[in-house]
Amino acid sequence: MSTLSESPDGTIEVLNIVPRQGPGGIIAPSCDAAISLAVEEINSSAGILGREIRTTNIDGGRAPSEVAAEISALLSTGMVHAITGWHTSAVRRAVARASAGRVPYLYATSHEGLTDELPGVLMLGEHPAGQTVPAVHWLEREYGVRRWAVIGNDYIWPRRSAAAIRASLSDPSAIVLEQYVPLGCPDFSGFLTHPALDLADGVIILMVGADVARFNQQYAATGRAATQPRVSPAADENVLLAAGPEANHGFFVASSFFLDDRTPDGRDRITRYHRRHGAFAPALTSFSNATYEAIHTLGALARTVGSLEVPEILNALDHGLFLETPTGVRAFRGNQAIQRGYIARVRGVDFEIIDRIS
């Protein structure tokens, strides 16, 4: 891997992986706009290590092996200095193997909390213990939900998250129905008509993007929304808009961050975003904001460590790394960013933060 001084035009080259197809593709326009804002803000100041940052968007909606092959080919040029992105854990695992710790890899999505990540992978998103599990227990406490049905996409994050939820329950048999469907599933009738769904007090949705919106539409059509609340850690404002307000009744979302225009920081960020992209830009959402944060966290990492070399970053993590980012100080436990957790009730197509859960 080339050192920074060998970059042919003196830039910091970042590969940003965001799905541009499949159920996660719904967030791509928002992510592109948010990333360009972060790049503009960094380049208008000191850049990263005194150099201009430049991003290349990679389609993370393809098969993990395809994404990994493209990343590997680009890394082999010696002109890539970091990877960021919002994409599935299946893609992350493949890309991490392909990158093999050659450059830092800042993963901004909720994940399953595995402990065997390869060196150089920094987990900026939430893991189940800090987000989904507390949300389930909050609904148990506040709404009396005792029995659950789980619907998830069929890959590592939903399955491992469901296992973490089950392990946290005093009675593991409280999960009365658990089904997994392919990414992009068009029809959830097998779940919605299953007799065991009548035994559940609530539903946990462990799916991605447009799949969540489609499920909420079909779920609302059954009339269950008034009596069986749903909770998900994987919905942003794009998902709410795609589903429509009538489909979001009784829907709760857990996250470490909601972009709230009622707070000074939120208003200022949204103002900067619209100043750059105009009033009709794709919405700046909690997911696209995560990609914005990832780019700024990369800049903070370089400022604090003085390098983007993975061994130096790992040494800083071992000695207690704190990073100043647009939303405050980030601390780490191992390679995992320490997060707060919040739960929001959906009102139409907006989030109403109602409690802190971790």
pLDDT digits (tens, 9 = 90+) for 120-176: 999 999 989 889 999 999 999 999 999 999 999 999 999 999 999 999 999 989 999
* E-only strand ranges, 100-167: 105-107, 121-123, 148-153
Confidence grade of residue 1 (pLDDT, cut at 50, 70, 90):
very low
* Distance, CA of 118 to chain centre: 19
pLDDT at 259: 79
Neighbours of 40 (CB within 10 A): 12
Q: Do you know the residue count of the chain?
A: 358
Average pLDDT over residues 213-227: 96
Q: What is the pLDDT of residue 132?
A: 94
Under 8 Å between Cβ of 82 and 106: yes
- Mapping DSSP to helix (H, G, I), strand (E, B) and coil, where does residue 287 land? helix
Eight-state DSSP code of residue 19 = -
**Mean pLDDT for the chain overall:** 93
Cα gap 158→170, rounded to integer Å: 20
pLDDT of residue 125: 92
Strand bridging mode 230-232 / 251-255: parallel
Question: Cα separation of 144 and 126, whole Å?
Answer: 25
Name which of 142-156, 185-199, 336-350 the model is least confident about. 336-350
**Confidence at residue 48, expressed as pLDDT on a 0 to 100 scale:** 97
Q: How far apart are CA 352 and CA 260, in angstroms?
A: 9
Per-residue pLDDT band for 237 (boundaries 50, 70, 90) equals very high
Q: What pLDDT score does 258 carry?
A: 85
**Residue 3 in tokens:** 């050192």
265 or 157: which leads in pLDDT: 157
Q: Are 142 and 237 in contact (CB under 8 A)?
A: no
User: Would the pLDDT of 191 be above 90?
Assistant: yes
**Can you tell me the distance from the alpha carbon of 312 to that of 319, in angstroms, rounded to the nearest whole number?**
11
* Single-letter amino acid, residue 67: V
The DSSP string of 220-259 is HHTT-TTTS-EEESS--HHHHHHH-GGGGTTEEEEES---
Question: CA 115, CA 112: separation in Å to the nearest integer?
Answer: 9
* pLDDT of 321 higher than 60: yes
- 341 close to 227: Cβ distance less than 8 angstroms: no
The pLDDT value recorded for residue 114 is 85
CA angle 119, 320, 109 (to 5 degrees): 50
Q: Going along 275-349, which residue ranges are E strands?
A: 322-325, 328-333, 336-337, 342-347
Position 6 pLDDT exceeds 80:
no
27-85 pLDDT, tens per residue? 999 999 999 999 999 999 999 999 999 999 999 999 999 999 999 999 999 999 999 99
pLDDT at 5: 41
What percentage of the chain reaches a pLDDT higher than 90?
Answer: 85
- 9: confidence class by pLDDT, cuts 50, 70, 90: low
**Residue 4, pLDDT score:** 41
Do the Cβ atoms of 357 and 347 come closer than 8 Å?
A: no
Beta-strand relationship, 350-356 and 342-347: antiparallel
**What is the rounded distance in angstroms from the CA atom of residue 109 to the CA atom of residue 92?**
10
Is residue 264 very low, low, confident or very high in pLDDT (cuts 50, 70, 90)? low
The pTM of this model reads 0.93
